[in-house]
Amino acid sequence: MPDRNLGKFTVLNCVCASVLTCGVPLFTADSTHAQGRPAGKGSISMVPARPLVWPLPPNVDKSYAWIDGHRLHGFVEELAAISEKYRDAGNQWWGRIPGMPSGTESQNWVKEKFKQIGVPTETVTIPDPQDLPKSWEVSVSAKGKTLKLESSNPIIDFPNLVPSAQGDEELDTVWVGLGQPADYIGKDVRGKAVFIYSIPTPSNLIQSAMWMGSVGRAQQAGAKAVIIDIAIPGNLHYVSHMEAGRVRDIRIPMFTIGDDDGHAVEEFTAMANGTGIKTHLRWDSSTIPI
């Protein structure tokens, strides 16, 4: 599939481009925890943050004093509500997405805000469709037990990396830890699903599976799918990419998962002594006409 990331958007006098989303959805945490999770690996703090108060420094233009961080945060909440409404409508790949109803609603929100402050806007339509994942599922089974990886999420440009728009695969499975050369010794990953443990440095957008070459190594060794366990406490859904860890012209499905799900897969691997583990992958991508 061609790499198409453009959609219908609003040009606002060439400013505030960052206010508009570019097809990247927002995801929230999944409270599911893998069974047997060691308490020592950490957890997400639920202590509410205290509001920050930054008084205007002396000798600064007093016109800046009207900027109200709490009011600006209200805008963030309004935009997030658009994403959440699209999620609650049953869309698995959700967010403020160009070409979709949530993208149109986001455009209208921005236009209205600029109208309120007297800034003119112009709408420009780019007639170029985009390819998006519509639905997917990842599960692992061993010794009669099946674990659905609820936190699974396709990487950002997933439709451009899979061999076909729809897929349904049942693959033998290999856990390779950080995916360094020594981790592959004695492990045949050809035609299999490879699970890689990836350390955020400092976030899911820059992580060890990318700059260590772990994903590219799995691709070159003939893996048929890659699932990346991002080592952040909890079982979050991540919007990530693998630009630094991909091998050109090798098309395989790649997903990220939360660390609770990743730990559960690691436990499956230990329980089955590394053999007889199956990963079931299903995906469906579609082209959205603009």
Q: Where among 89, 109, 124 does a domain terminate?
A: 124
Alpha helix positions (H), the chain: 69-88, 101-116, 208-211, 214-220, 259-271
Which tens digits make up the pLDDT trace of 135-187?
A: 999 999 998 999 999 999 999 889 989 999 999 999 999 999 999 999 999 99
Which tens digits make up the pLDDT trace of 181-200?
A: 999 999 999 999 999 999 99
Same domain, residue pair 266 and 136:
yes
For the chain, the straight-line distance linking the first and the last C-alpha, in angstroms and rounded, comes to 16
By DSSP bridging, strand 166-175 and strand 193-198 are parallel
Is position 84 within any domain?
Answer: yes
CATH number at residue 174: 3.50.30.30
Is position 55 within any domain?
Answer: no
Same domain, residue pair 89 and 185:
no
Say yes or no to pLDDT of 222 above 50.
Answer: yes
CA distance linking residue 205 with residue 193, whole number of Å: 22
Domain count, the chain: 2
Structural domain of 182: 131-288
Nearest to 184 by CA among 165, 212, 150, 148: 212
By DSSP bridging, strand 145-148 and strand 225-230 are unpaired
Nearest to 12 by CA among 123, 117, 116, 118: 123
The verdict on pTM exceeding 0.75 is yes
Q: Tokens standing for 221?
A: 């060794």
